Structure 1
Amino acid sequence: MKIAHKITNLLDCPEFISAHRVLPHHFTRKRHLTFKNLVLFLLNQPNSALQTELDQFFRVLTDAALETQVVTAQAFSKARKKLKPSALQALNEVLQAQIDLCRQRQTWQGMRLLAIDGSTVHLPLEDALARHFGAHSGFPVARLSVLLDIADNQALHNLIVTPDIDERGCAAMHLEHAPDNSLILFDRGYPAHWLFAECQRRQQHFLMRMPVNFNPEVTQFLHSDKAEQTIHLTCRSWSTRQACEQAGVDPQTVIPLRLIRVILSTGEVEVLATSLLDADRFPLALFSDLYHRRWGIESDYRRLKQTLQLDNFSGRTVTAVLQDFHAQQLLKNLAMLMQALQQPLIEQQCRRRKLRWKANFAGAPSRKGCLG
C-alpha cells in the first residue's frame, strides 16, 4: 500500500528523525532499536509482558525460526526516552494528507462530517503521572479528546491532557485542525457562547445538542410548537462575558443560531442548534438522523479502549503514556483505512449473501502491525 510505504520511508528520513528525537546525538549509533524499529514496535500494540513482546517483534523482523533475546526490556525503556511523542502525531498528519491526496474522503451535502468528543483514561499508579495529568479519587487519570471524521473513522487530531482542561477547551484546540468546509457534531456538554463565537470566527459550521435550560430562548422554543426557529444569541450574564474574555472572544459577538426540534422514538424532544441557517439548502428533514451519526465517535472510543486496550500502557512515565496514546490512534487509523480498502472486495465476494458483510476491525491490527 503506497500510503504505508510513504509513512515507513519517513522513519528512515534524517530530517524526520532529527525533528523528533530528544537530543541531536540520539539514534546516531547503529543499534537494534533504531528510530524506525522503535516506532514500529510502539505500533505493534505491545500489551503483554514487555520482554515477550520484544522477542516476538524481533523474531518477525528478522524472520527467525525461534525467539531470542535481541533487545532487553531495559534497553527499550532507555531508547524510548529519546523519542518525542510528536513523531507519532506527525505520522498521523502525513497519513491524513495522503488520504486527502487519494480522494478517499466522503462528504455529507458536500461537507466533511466531523465529530468532537472527550473521554478519560486511567493511568498507571505512579506519582509522576498524577502530578502531570492529575488524579481522580486518588488514581492518576488523563482527559482524552478526539476530532474524528465520521465517514471513515479517521482521527484527524487527538489530545491527551490534564483534566483541568475541559472538553470545550479541547474543542477549541481541535478547531485549528478541522478542514475547511466541514460540519462538526457536538454533544450537549459543549454549547457555550464563546465556543459558538470561536466556530463563527473560524468559519466552521457546527451542530450541537442544546441543554434544555441553556437560556430562555431555548426553553421557550422547547415548549412551543415550532419545528425550527432562528435566534440571535448575545451575552447576558457576567459569567458568560467573563468566559468569552478568558477565551479571547469578544463578548459583544452576536451568534445567529438555527434551533431545530427533533422528536425521538421514545417521544422525548431534543433541541439542536446549528450554524447552517439556509433552510433551502439544508431543509429540516436532513437533521432527523444527522445528529445521531455522532455515535460514530463513541464507537471509536470503544475500539481504542476495548479492542486496542488503550489503558494497558507499555510504560509508566509521562513520555510512555503520550507515546502509547498517539501510537494507538495511528494504529487505529491505519487499521480503519485497511478495512475501508478491503470492503469493496468483501462485498463482491459476499454479494449473494443475505446480510452485508464487513471486515472485522479486531483482526486488522495484526502481530506484524499495519506497517509491517
Structure 2
Amino acid sequence: MTHALSRYLTLLRNFPDLTTEAQRAQYIVEPHRHFTRSSPLTFRRTVAFILQLVRKSTAVELHDFFGSLGRAPVTKSAFAQRWRAIRPAFFRDFFYRSVQDFYTCFGHARRWRSHLLFAVDGTGQTLPREQWIGQAFGFHQNQHDKVPSTRILLTYDLLNRIILRADLHTQHSGEIRHAYPNVEHLPQRAIYIYDRGYAGYGLPFLHRRHGSDCIIRLPVTMSPEVVDFVRSGQPDRLITVPLLGRALRTLRQLGLRPEERHPLELRLVRVELPTGEVEVLLTTLMHRRRFHHRRIGELYGLRWGVETGISHLKSYLQLALISAYTQPGVEQDLWSTFWFYNVQSACLLDRERAKKARTQHRYYSYRINRNVTAGLIKRWLPTLFLEGIWRWRARTKVLLDELLTHLEPYRPRPGRVRIRRIMRSQDRHVYEPNYRSAF
C-alpha cells in the first residue's frame, strides 16, 4: 500500500467521527435522541453498512455484516429506524470528501500534458415505483405510464476514473442548463469534453472566463461557419463568432452580463472517421503546435470513458437496486454508490504500477477486473471503519494483493456497427453477456 492510498483511506476513515455538536446537528435528525446510547447499530456501523451497498435482502446483508464482526445480527426494522436518523447530506458530503481527498493525496494523479481531463455527460436512472419518490425526483412519462426517475449529470475524470461531481435533476430540465452553472466551480488547468447535446457557444465562453478549456462536438449543420468549414476540407480553422441567442440568454440568467454580439475566438477541428463520416469539434485550445488537430480528435475519443463509467455504475454496482422506498433513503443509496466507485478507483490506481510490473512481458495489456474487485471491496469496507488501525492496515494490504489476482487481458477489437437496444426498467440487471454479479 502506497503512502498516498494510506493517507487517503485514513482521511475517509476519520470522516464519520462527528466530534462536535454542530456536525451532529448537520447530519443527524434530532441529534439529542439518536445515536446517544449504547447500541449494536452505532453511527459508524450504520454508515459502514450503507456504504457497502445493500443490494441483496436487507436481512441477509445484516446477517453477513454482523457475522463478519462476530456479533448477532440486528433486525431490519432496527436498521430502518437508524438509517432514517441520518440525513442524506452526510453521504453527499462524504462523496465530495472522497473527491477532494483523492486529489490532495494522489499528487501523481494522471494528467494529459499537465491538464486534468474530464468528460461531462448525463444518464437517466429509474427509481422505485412509489408516488412520493416521483414527487421528489420527478417522473419519466410517456403515453402509457409515468415512472419515478431522475437524471444524473456526471463530471468524470477520464484518466483517473474518479467521479468529480454528480448533479441530480428531473427529466424536465436539460443537462446543458445544469452544466452551465457548474463551470464556475470546476478545477482550472483542466480540459472538459462534451458531446453534441452541449453544442453552443455559452460553455466555451464560461470555460474561458473561469480558466479552463473545453472540447465540444458540434452538428455539422449547426451554423454557416461550421458548414463552410466542413466544405473547405481544412483540418482546423480559427473563427470569431458573436455571442447571441440561447447562449446569451442562458448566461444572463446566471447573473452574468456579457455584451450582445460579444466576439468569441474559437477553433474548429475536423475529424474524419474510418467510415468516411466527418465530425466537427469546437475547442478553446487555440495553440496549433502544442495542441495539434490530431491530438484534439484523440482527446475526444477518450470521452467514451464516461460511458464506460456509467455502465459500471449501473451494471457492476447495480445502481438501480435501491434498498429504500423513501426520498432520503434513495438519496443515501445514490451518493453511497458514487462514493464506493471513487474508493474502488483509488485502490485500483494504487495497484497500477504493480500490475504493469506483473504483466510487462505478456502479449496483451491487462486491466484489473472492476466487477470482481467491487465485490471484494464491499466485503472489506467494514474493516476500514470498524477495526483498529493496525488490523485495518493489515487487511487492506491483503485486499490490494488480492486485487492483482483478478486481471483480464484487453483485446482491441475491430470497429463494429453499433446496435441500439432499448433498456426497459431494470433489464440491465437481468442479463449481461460474460458478466455475473459480484455482490
Tell whether the structures are fold-level matches, with TM greater than 0.5. yes
Letter paired with 2:15: L
Write the distance in 1 (CA, Å) between the matches of 2:251 and 2:352.
46
Q: Tell me the residue number matched to 1:7.
A: 12
Q: Cα distance, 1:240 vs. partner?
A: 4.7
Q: Tell me the residue number matched to 1:368.
A: 379
Q: Cα distance, 1:136 vs. partner?
A: 1.4
SS in 1 for 2:364: coil
Letter paired with 2:76: A
Letter paired with 1:346: K
Contact preservation (8 Å) 1:228, 1:259: yes
Q: Tell me the residue number matched to 1:75.
A: 78
> Which deviates the most, 122-131 or 87-96?
87-96
Contact preservation (8 Å) 2:241, 2:263: yes
Q: Aligned pair in 2 of structure 1 residues 109, 352: CA closer, same or farther (>3 Å)?
A: closer
TM-score (norm 1): 0.92
Contact preservation (8 Å) 2:269, 2:280: yes
Write the distance in 1 (CA, Å) between the matches of 2:60 and 2:259.
57
Q: Tell me the residue number matched to 2:282.
A: 273
2:200 is equivalent to residue 154 of structure 1? no
2:207 is equivalent to residue 202 of structure 1? no
Contact preservation (8 Å) 2:270, 2:293: no
RMSD: 1.9
Which of 83, 87, 102 aligns to 1:84? It is: 87
Unpaired segments ≥5 residues, structure 2: 1-5, 384-439
Q: Aligned pair in 2 of structure 1 residues 369, 215: CA closer, same or farther (>3 Å)?
A: farther
Write the distance in 2 (CA, Å) between the matches of 1:165 and 1:34.
39
Write the distance in 1 (CA, Å) between the matches of 2:224 and 2:79.
58
Q: Residue deviations 1:83-129, cap 9 Å, x none? A: 12222232233333332233131111211111110000000000011
Q: Tell me the residue number matched to 1:20.
A: 27
Write the distance in 2 (CA, Å) between the matches of 1:3 and 1:315.
29
Contact preservation (8 Å) 2:116, 2:189: yes
Unpaired segments ≥5 residues, structure 1: none
Q: Aligned pair in 2 of structure 1 residues 21, 177: CA closer, same or farther (>3 Å)?
A: farther
Using the aligned pairs only, state the percent identity: 27
Equivalent runs, 1:73-222 vs 2, <5 Å: 73-102=76-105, 103-137=107-141, 138-222=146-230
Q: Residue deviations 1:326-363, cap 9 Å, x none? A: 10011011111111112222232333322222211112
Write the distance in 2 (CA, Å) between the matches of 1:292 and 1:221.
21
Contact preservation (8 Å) 1:156, 1:177: no
TM-score (norm 2): 0.79
Write the distance in 1 (CA, Å) between the matches of 2:57 and 2:186.
38
Write the distance in 2 (CA, Å) between the matches of 1:169 and 1:296.
23
Contact preservation (8 Å) 1:245, 1:251: no
Q: Cα distance, 1:55 vs. partner?
A: 1.6
Q: Cα distance, 1:143 vs. partner?
A: 0.3
